[in-house]
Copies of this chain bind each other. A is one copy, B any other.
Amino acid sequence: MADRDTPDTQMLIADMGRRARAAATVLAAMPSPAKAQALRAAAAAIRASQEAILAANAEDMAAGKANGLSDAMLDRLLLDPKRIEGMASGIEAVAGLEDPVGSVLDERTRPNGLVLRRVRVPIGVIGIIYESRPNVTADAGALCLMSGNAAILRGGSEAIRSNRAIHAALVQGLVQAGAPADAIQLVPVTDRAAVGAMLTAEGLIDMVVPRGGKSLVARVQAEARVPVLAHLDGINHSYVDRAADPAMAVALAVNAKMRRTGICGATETLLIDRGFADPKPILAALAEAGCELRGDAEVQALDPRVQPASDEDWDTEYLEAILSVKLVDGVEGAMAHIAAHGSHHTDAILTEDADTAARFLRGVDSAIVMWNASTQFADGGEFGLGAEIGISTGRLHARGPVALEGLTTYKWLVLGTGQARP
């Protein structure tokens, strides 16, 4: 029953959507300094509310322990003074980002004198659906506000008390600074029906961004009738070409897989050109760094520590210290493997041959394609975008790391002097 939409929940979301639309109208016209000022006030209110936020979080933590949450989930849920300061300074960092709203994408004058101007505007109302990390309440709310969008936030039930406390502080700051109280709303109920109601709120919510594990994203993509900006898999490849620098190949293979194994930019499959002189040091370095290697007989022959790979390995995002390794015939072989098994997220070539690199950069159909760099750089912060709302693996609207610009659209202004169409 709790999974079904109920009329009450639908009415609640519809009411929140209408209030969000009204707030969005105000936000769309707010100058950048006013939005930045509202965010700085929200950051100050977060700092001032530290005690209340920690008390709410302690209740969530106690309930989480009683409900048997895993240690990893409890760590994601936990707030401490340092993490609260991180939220506040994160909001201030968003306030310092360049505001894309109002920028002119292009302008042309037609022979009849009409001036056409394409101008960035906010999307409108953004729904964010997330899991146990309460800091998303602050991060996502700040990004939506700075880009002139109203936000409807729906966090995980295990973090509801923390989220309420953070949200209360945010709104207190916003209102003090003259921004609408409904600019950032938190869904007050925790039943899953609220998610369903958000996903079908056509005309009320303009875009939904799921932030969480695969099962959440998959549910959102399966049920949504509103557009979704989603990140699905990061089955990323690093390809060592025959013309790769051997020392760089060792260093980047280890970094791309092992620096942090749990992030979406981590390499999951290493492709090595059969023409590459000496793959053994790469495998040895990975094994010595603690990585489990999986490959077919050809790869197993290179290093006794390589385990047999199954068919599924080529389509698996491990997110841990496991790497599938395959030998391929040159850049064409690498591109064929990536086309068959990749997830269009991030893929890299290591080579000193510029023509081969150009072939790979052009031919690989992924959001991010790299040359002689670690796939772990697939991150909005590393791209210089400031905070990111997520990394999109879809093809439309925004691709790769999505920050403020991805939360905007445009409209056409047509400036005339009385032109009628002949």
Stretch at the interface among A65-73, A289-297, A394-402: A394-402
Q: A339 near B: Cβ within 8 Å?
A: yes
| Cβ–Cβ contact B412 & A373, under 8 A | no
Look across to chain B and name the residue whose beta carbon is closest to the beta carbon of A110.
Answer: B384
**Is the pair B227, A394 in contact by a Cβ cutoff of 8 Å?**
yes
A409 touches B421 (CB 8 A): no
Q: Establish whether residues A245 and B418, one from each chain, have CB atoms under 8 Å apart when the complex forms.
A: yes
Q: Which one of A3-11, A251-259, A311-319 is at the interface?
A: A251-259
Question: Binding site of A, secondary structure by majority: helix, strand, loop or mixed?
Answer: mixed
In the complex where A108-B384, A245-B418 touch, is A412 in contact with B395 (Cβ < 8 A)? no
From B207, B369, B396, B417, A409 is in contact (CB under 8 Å) with: B396
Indicate with 1 or 0, residue by residue over A204-230, a CB within 8 angstroms of chain B CB atoms. Answer: 001100000000000000000001000
Q: A227-B396, A421-B255, A421-B382 are in contact. Are A369 and B414 (CB under 8 A)?
A: yes
Check A396 against B396 for contact (C-beta < 8 Å): yes
| Closest beta carbon of chain B to A136's beta carbon, Å | 22
CB closest residue in chain B, given A376: B421
Q: Does A306 contact B (CB under 8 A)?
A: no
Partner of A397, one of B339, B372, B397: B397
A418 and B369 form a contact (CB under 8 A): no
Cβ A365 vs Cβ B124 within 8 A:
yes
Q: Is the CB of B395 within 8 A of A400?
A: no
- A79-114: which residues lie under 8 A (CB-CB) from chain B? 108, 110, 114
Q: What is the distance, in angstroms, from A371's C-beta to the closest C-beta of chain B?
A: 5
14 sample A-B contacts, Cβ–Cβ < 8 Å, listed by A number: A25-B365, A28-B365, A123-B395, A123-B396, A207-B396, A368-B414, A369-B414, A370-B414, A373-B414, A376-B420, A377-B421, A382-B421, A383-B412, A400-B411
